[in-house]
């Protein structure tokens, strides 16, 4: 999934209010070397060449590598949680378990409360996946915003940023912007992707609710019909020490090209493998 290296970093920035839309890495981060720069308004050090982001916490270095950390397949979820780890079930997620959050992302309605005292998440395990259909509409039949991207087959002009108008014969991609459908350009190969990430969700006493860097992102569509369980291992996702209660949520990292969660097909089962921090 070649686009994840760009998408995941930008999306994470929006989740943690790092204002990644204005990508200006001007302050050198000396902790990890000359190629690392601080993401504005955060303590996160990012190497844009190697797609490597890190943050120092009291529990160790919190690191996220894009596009993928080590991944392994196993026949059963239990086999993907080894070395004395504790396997806990997050949820079996389908369209009814998803809703639209304030970032216009499809997020799990279930927030799993997790007591991480002396523990960390060693891996996130996925089984199954989502099929994200490419939906095509006439402009007059587009669903109400907010919604994911869609394709219209009767566009008059595909100029990005223009309000969607019908009556033509062009096929264009449209997106909800400020409550209205606008053209993003011609149809492209991102239509139908179903990438999905798991996050820590916690309340910072100073800045309020926050999302962590992803604990693991996958394109769920290729996983949809596989029987094997995929274990995704983050390096050391220790939550910030200011968090008194940590929750786990799931959300799509990039905007899915469907108007509403009800269009998402399939089921994604998610487990967490917990390990004790001693010796970690």
Mean pLDDT of the chain: 76
The whole-number pLDDT of residue 4 equals 24
Q: Are residues 98 and 145 in the same domain?
A: no
Q: Are residues 123 and 145 in the same domain?
A: no
Mean pLDDT, range 183-201, rounded to an integer: 71
Q: Are residues 222 and 257 in the same domain?
A: yes
The whole-number pLDDT of residue 16 equals 32
Q: Are residues 205 and 267 in the same domain?
A: yes
Q: Are residues 24 and 72 in the same domain?
A: no
**Lowest mean pLDDT: which of 6-10, 181-185, 255-259?**
6-10
The whole-number pLDDT of residue 243 equals 67
Q: Are residues 113 and 208 in the same domain?
A: yes
Query: Going by C-beta distance under 8 Å and a sequence separation of 6 or more, which residues neighbour residue 160?
Result: 182, 183, 184, 185
Q: Are residues 158 and 262 in the same domain?
A: no
Q: Are residues 73 and 202 in the same domain?
A: yes
The whole-number pLDDT of residue 169 equals 86
Query: Comparing 124 with 255, which gets the higher pLDDT?
Result: 124
> Among 163, 186, 209, which residue terminates a domain?
186
Q: Is 96 exposed, middle or buried (0-12, 13-18, 19+ CB in 10 A)?
A: exposed
The whole-number pLDDT of residue 9 equals 30
**Lowest mean pLDDT: which of 57-61, 114-118, 221-225?**
57-61
Of the chain, the percentage scoring pLDDT greater than 90 comes to 18
CATH number, domain of 90, equals 2.60.120
User: pLDDT by residue (tens digit) across 36-76?
Assistant: 888 766 677 877 777 677 777 655 566 666 545 567 889 99
Q: Is the pLDDT of residue 91 over 90?
A: yes
The whole-number pLDDT of residue 57 equals 61
Q: Are residues 45 and 176 in the same domain?
A: no
Contact 247, 29 (CB under 8 A): no
> Among 118, 151, 186, which residue terminates a domain?
186
Q: For the beta carbon of residue 17, count every other beta carbon within 10 angstroms.
A: 14
Q: Is the pLDDT of residue 1 over 80?
A: no
Contact 258, 115 (CB under 8 A): no
Number of structural domains found in the chain: 3
Q: Is the pLDDT of residue 3 over 90?
A: no
Mean pLDDT, range 166-180, rounded to an integer: 87
Range of the domain at 158: 136-186
Q: Are residues 33 and 87 in the same domain?
A: no
Local confidence band at 11 (pLDDT 50, 70, 90 cut-offs): very low
User: pLDDT by residue (tens digit) across 234-245?
Assistant: 665 555 556 677
Q: Is the pLDDT of residue 229 over 90?
A: yes
Q: Are residues 237 and 202 in the same domain?
A: yes
Nearest CA to 123 among 60, 189, 194, 198? 198
Q: Are residues 128 and 197 in the same domain?
A: yes
């Amino acid at each position: 999934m070649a686009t994840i290296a760009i998408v995941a970093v930008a999306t994470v920035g929006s989740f943690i209010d790092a204002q990644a839309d204005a990508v200006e890495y001007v302050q050198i981060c000396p902790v990890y070397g000359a190629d690392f720069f601080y993401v504005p308004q955060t303590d996160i050090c990012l190497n844009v060449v190697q797609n490597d982001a890190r943050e120092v916490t009291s529990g160790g270095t919190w690191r996220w590598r894009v596009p993928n950390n080590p991944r392994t397949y196993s026949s059963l979820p239990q086999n993907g949680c080894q070395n004395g780890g504790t396997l806990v079930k997050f949820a079996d997620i389908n369209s009814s378990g998803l809703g639209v959050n304030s970032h216009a992302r499809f997020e799990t309605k279930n927030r799993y409360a997790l007591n991480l005292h002396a523990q960390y998440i060693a891996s996130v395990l996925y089984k199954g996946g989502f099929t994200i259909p490419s939906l095509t509409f006439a402009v007059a039949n587009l669903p109400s915003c907010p919604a994911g991207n869609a394709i219209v087959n009767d566009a008059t002009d595909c100029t990005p940023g223009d309000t969607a108008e019908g009556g033509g014969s062009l096929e264009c991609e449209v997106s909800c912007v400020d409550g209205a459908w606008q053209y993003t350009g011609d149809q492209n190969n991102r239509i139908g992707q179903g990438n999905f990430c798991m996050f820590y969700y916690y309340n910072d006493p100073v800045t309020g609710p926050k999302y962590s860097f992803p604990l693991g992102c996958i394109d769920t569509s290729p996983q949809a019909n596989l029987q094997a369980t995929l274990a995704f291992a983050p390096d050391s996702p220790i939550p910030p020490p200011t968090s008194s209660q940590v929750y786990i949520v799931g959300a799509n990292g990039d905007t899915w090209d469907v108007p509403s969660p009800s269009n998402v097909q399939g089921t994604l089962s998610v487990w967490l493998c917990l390990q004790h921090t001693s010796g970690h």
